Amino acid sequence: MKISKRKINKEGSTSMNLRIDRQTLLLLIIFFALVLGFGIFEDGFLTQRSIFSMAFQLPEIGLLSYAMMLPYLVGGINLSINASSNLSALIGAFFLLKFLPLLNLPDIPALQIGGVFVVAILVGIAAGLFNGILVGFINAPPILATLASMAFFTGISVGLTKGSTLTGFPQSISLISNTSVMGFPTPFLIFIGVTILLIILLNKSSFGFKLRLLGTNPVASQFTGIENKKIIMLYFVFSGILSAIAGILIMSRTMSASYQYGIRTYVLLTILINVLAGIAAGSGKVINVFITVFILQVISTGFHMLLIGMRGSSFFKDFVWGLLLIFIFIVNYFTRNKGTEKVELLGLFRKGKSMNE
Amino acid sequence: MVKNNMLKRIFETTEFVTFTIIVVLSVIIGSINPAFYSWGMLFDILRASIVFSIMAFGLLPVIISGGVDISFVAIAAMSSYATHMYLLRIGYEGGILLYYLIACSIGILAGLINGFLVTRFDLLIFNVSLAMYTMWYGFVRFFIGSERNHNLPAGVANFYSRFLLIVENQFTGVTGLHVSVLFVLGIGVTIALLLRYTTLGRGIYAMGGSRDVAIRCGFNIKTITFFVMMLMGGIASFAGVTFNLLSRFFDPTIFLGQELDVIAAIILGGASLSGGRGSVIGSFMGVIVIQMIHRALILTGIPVEWQDLMVGILLVFFISFPFIRDSFKKLTLKSSLQKP
């Protein structure tokens, strides 16, 4: 009785007081240590130009990380995020190049940008439904289902473009990534906006609650009366939408659309970000993913500046990312043990803890 | 009756589904293009499957034990490239044996690191392997070299054309059965025997089936984890050297992005990602299916740009197959219940 009361208090007050989750704290410390370190050793690091370029680069991978995070919260995976983001961008490009000229409309940037967003997001939703059917209704293991849909989406992209890169969009498309509002690059603001929406979706909506429950125990969630299949469909659809937005940002930055953008690297990078952020089946915070994206970007930019001109310098960051991941695992291992000791001393959640382990 | 049950059990396995698909695919491809039925084509598919089969055999015990690893491709790339650069520097001119020995030792050591991290810090194999994947690919390209190297020592330069059998055919030209098919056979049989007839092998299955039960049965989970990780590292490096020797260059980025294909092949071959199930022969068939799909598309004359889509469609069909079979079974069950 006492336990349940305290639990309610604790959860009800998270939004009010400044309790910081252990993983968030660790990530913040690492982030500030890195910024400080690079700031001391590299003169150009803390300049407006380099900060601006970082804020410009990270939204794409950040949005894709969110697209990976939703299935990851359920203990699943979505390997097709990059394929569906490229497909969305490609269909958006076709809309611009083939469909819009047919209508003979005047050159209105808002119409072009809006149209691309609508078309790309519709494609993202379709891709999500496809994944959702494979995983939810056909019961295929997510890793295999999304591997197949990755091949499927890439296949459509390759087939439609015959392997070529589409270019020659109206100039208005570059506005998405080239403008800044109140000193912030627009993609960065989109990223912040999506982050806030996602936090609300996961913490304040019934979908977020059901998603976590499904991740913790699918059988229990089924018996609670949650339609698991519907939730599976929904999170894949959200994942598809997020990938589509990332696809538009990539398209706007490069002013091109191709099936092969980030094809071999982005998927694993987003998994790496989610694991670093401590996302696991049933638990995880959007803000941790947010900070982790910054950490990886700082490492990437920082070492790029430090090692400039060295042979293979761009690969050093991969090496550091791997080491950082292991470092976080080890720190978590030791603090986790201390944490449970403390919890046991207080006599709180003993039962819940042992069930989770 | 017993025999009937056994037959039924065989029909229900994923291995059987995979086998059926191989047969169906070969009938379809063969009826479109009879060139498919030739020794040359068989040897070609086998040659393309050699490296992936070896890697799949190495990864299989890890998957059976309930873990998913992706670092094996990075270990393979790193160890074979490091070995090659080292041997080039000391002016080695000998044969393939030293290549395999050094690379496999590095691979086993890398596996040992994985095993240590997993057991000491109580981590998921997948998470550790993700870190090691990024780390090794970064390590080899930053510290050792990032460029493809075409200088092969005299002793290994001709390995790519060492055939057991050579056939000539009007469609495929001269093709041969490469010696390294024997490696596949040797490693495959060893792993199959190990999994089936040794206590360690049964422990791997037990651990994948249920960790707690395996511990209570007296299996040492840590030893098993160390063993499967080291085995995987060693065999992956073996595959890495073989791949580089067959393609006549050494490249630090081999297999980058292909780890999922190997995992998919193993799952197509009847293994379960939650552990406890899987077989060597199934994994081999899984690899063959994927290679056959690629060959099939060339032979049936589908335009190149639509081939990736066909691979996707076939994969989607393949993973839906058990579902279609089950719903079909439910339908027949319903109708048989309604009849009397």
Q: Which amino acid is at B302?
A: I
Distance to chain B for A99, nearest Cα, Å = 23
Contact B131 A317 (CB under 8 A): no
Q: How far apart are CA B140 and CA B270, in angstroms?
A: 34
Judged against a pLDDT cut of 70, whether residue A45 lies above it is answered with yes
Bridge partners, A243 (sequence order): none
Most confident of A47-51, A200-204, B318-322: A200-204
Which one has a higher pLDDT value, B339 or B320?
B320
Render pLDDT for A305-332 as a digit per residue (tens, 0 to 9): 888 777 777 889 889 989 999 998 998 8
- Which residue does chain B place closest to A262, by CA atoms? B257
For the CA atoms of B287, B288, B289, B292, what is the dihedral angle to 10 degrees?
130
Which residue in the set A151, A153, A272 is minimally distant from B134, CB to CB?
A272
Which residue in the set B142, B263, B268 is minimally distant from A316, CB to CB?
B142
Contact A312 B141 (CB under 8 A): yes
Q: How far apart are CA A218 and CA A135, in angstroms?
A: 13
**Res B47: pLDDT:** 86
Per-residue pLDDT, averaged over A229-247, amounts to 94
Report residue A355's pLDDT band, with 50, 70 and 90 as the boundaries. very low
Query: What dotted CATH number matches A2-356?
Result: 1.10.3470
Per-residue pLDDT, averaged over A144-166, amounts to 89
Which one has a higher pLDDT value, A47 or A288?
A288
Contacts of A320 in chain B (CB under 8 A): 138
Pick among A150, A153, A160, A268 to test the B interface (most B CBs inside 10 A): A268
Distance to chain A for B186, nearest Cα, Å = 29
**Res B81: pLDDT:** 95
**Res A6: pLDDT:** 42
DSSP string over B64-92: HTT----HHHHHHHHHHHHHHHHHHHTT-
Judged against a pLDDT cut of 70, whether residue A10 lies above it is answered with no
Q: Quick one: residue B68, left, alpha or beta (phi over 0 = left, psi -120 to 50 = alpha)?
A: beta
Fill in the DSSP letter of residue B141: I
Q: Which of A78-92, A222-236, B28-42, B60-74 has the lowest mean pLDDT?
A: B28-42
Domain B2-301 is of which CATH architecture?
Orthogonal Bundle (1.10)
Distance to chain B for A12, nearest Cα, Å = 31
Report residue A338's pLDDT band, with 50, 70 and 90 as the boundaries. low
Q: How far apart are CA A268 and CA B73, in angstroms?
A: 13
Contact B142 A140 (CB under 8 A): no
Q: How far apart are CA A155 and CA A151, in angstroms?
A: 6
Which one has a higher pLDDT value, A162 or B9?
A162
The answer, for B135 touching chain A at a CB cutoff of 8 Å, is yes
The answer, for B327 touching chain A at a CB cutoff of 8 Å, is no
Q: How far apart are CA B108 and CA B151, in angstroms?
A: 26
Q: How far apart are CA B261 and CA B286, in angstroms?
A: 10
Render pLDDT for A170-186 as a digit per residue (tens, 0 to 9): 888 888 888 888 878 88
Judged against a pLDDT cut of 60, whether residue B120 lies above it is answered with yes
Pick among B127, B317, B318 to test the A interface (most A CBs inside 10 A): B127
Report residue B232's pLDDT band, with 50, 70 and 90 as the boundaries. very high
Q: How far apart are CA B268 and CA B67, in angstroms?
A: 17
Which residue in the set A151, A156, A315 is minimally distant from B142, CB to CB?
A315
**Res B336: pLDDT:** 64
For the CA atoms of B126, B127, B131, B132, what is the dihedral angle to 10 degrees?
-30
Domain boundaries, chain B: 2-301
Count of CB pairs separated by less than 8 Å, A with B: 142
List all residues of chain B from 57 to 96 with a beta carbon under 8 Å from chain A: 68, 70
Q: Which helix (H) or strand (E) holds A104?
A: none
Which residue in the set B146, B305, B306 is minimally distant from A312, CB to CB?
B146
Render pLDDT for A286-305 as a digit per residue (tens, 0 to 9): 999 999 999 999 998 888 88
Pick among B143, B294, B305 to test the A interface (most A CBs inside 10 A): B305
Contacts of A326 in chain B (CB under 8 A): 117, 128, 131, 135
For the CA atoms of A153, A154, A156, A159, what is the dihedral angle to 10 degrees?
180
